[in-house]
Amino acid sequence: MAASDELGALTRAFSGFGVDEKALISILGKWHQEQRQTFRKGTRDFFTEDERQFERWDDRHVIQLQHEFLRFKHAIVLWTMHPWERDARLLKEALHKGPQHKVLVEVACTRLSDELLGARKAYHSLFDHSIEEDVAFGIHGPERKLLVALVSSYRYEGTKVNEEIAKSEAKFLSSAIKGAAGNKNLLENEEVVRIVATRSKPHLTSVYNHYKEITGHYLDEDLDGELYLQETVQCLCKPQKYFSKVLDASMGPDVDELKKEAVTRIIVTRADVDMKLIKEEYNHKYGVSLPNKIEDVANGNYRDFLLTLVARGD
């Protein structure tokens, strides 16, 4: 199908003039970010150019598509969104439903610095607030300081690491974890929050490795019982481990709707990033391929679209 025909098919589908779901799967499943951007820029009935330089969905059409596609809609709409808008909406929904601290940590820690900054810009446009103020206002527990720091972060992304500082901070974390055992919440330790919220990912990976050399244990394992910090460390240092764990939990028997939503969220947001590594980790950890697991738990066009996105990592 020619590019113009593909654009026409999608336009008709999103306009409500008959939804050929197989065509949507075929077209959108093979499009890369540049092609999705071309669609957004050329389809002004559905998208508008925001003053912060991203194409945003028209809210009226998002509501319409919720009724049109049901669960299938989540994957289709999120996949066609500008990544900044997608993350901004995921953050807002996470605060509205719970809040879902896991999603806040996930978005803040697994995006590049410019991607997180873009999501913060989109959040301003979409909701007339900053994500920082909404997190600070909506969360009242000891985790608030950590979560505000994470969503506010703009980490250095170069490769240089001062190994002496990394080793020193690994020793500090080891002492802090031992000192907090049964006595004090680690989230109240400002130095712990500073390290995980501001250091670069290469630096934190070095801290993670030094911690293992010093203690004989993995840092995230020693943070068992400190869920926010544990997931923060995993998202920053071992994201494939984190994503495979959340995917498996969301596809278990009798899971609630909020957990089920993680399947769509993770597959859509990681399809073009590290899906191959996530699949390898999932297979290694759970002894079954991720596509086979999806086939077992999902149905119809929703299943087919997820499998198409997962296959992009091959």
Show binding-site residues for Ca(2+): 14, 16, 18
* Maximal CA-CA distance, the chain: 65
Which residue ranges are tagged as binding site? 14, 16, 18
Cα–Cα distance between 18 and 16 in angstroms, integer?
A: 6
Letter string b/e over residues 277-308, b meaning 16 or more CB atoms within 10 A of that residue's CB: bbbbbbbeeeeeebbebbeeebeebbbbbbbb
Number of CB atoms found within 10 A of residue 157's CB = 11
Cα–Cα distance between 208 and 126 in angstroms, integer?
A: 37
User: Which alpha helices (DSSP H) does the chain contain, by range?
Assistant: 3-14, 21-30, 33-42, 59-69, 71-80, 83-96, 101-110, 113-127, 131-138, 144-152, 163-180, 190-198, 201-215, 219-222, 227-237, 239-250, 257-270, 275-286, 290-297, 300-311
Q: 218, exposed or middle or buried, with CB in 10 Å at 0-12, 13-18, 19+?
A: middle
Of 93, 142, 157, 98, the closest CA to residue 119 belongs to 93
